[in-house]
Amino acid sequence: MMVEYNRVQLSREAKKHGFVRDTFEKALRLKEILKFLTSMSICQNICS
């Protein structure tokens, strides 16, 4: 399941942390992908 982000909220958070909104959104999406991969048992064997 992909998380849907509110562009206004993304803009505020990105500005607060000194990032460009699109870059900030990509980083958040990458975080979700990595979280998903590490939750999979097959990845836990490889990544450990």
| Residues 6 or more apart whose Cβ sits within 8 Å of residue 15 | 21
pTM over 0.95: no
Task: Give domain limits for the chain.
Answer: 9-47
pLDDT in tens, 4-46: 888 999 999 999 999 999 999 999 999 998 888 888 766 666 6
The whole-number pLDDT of residue 45 equals: 66
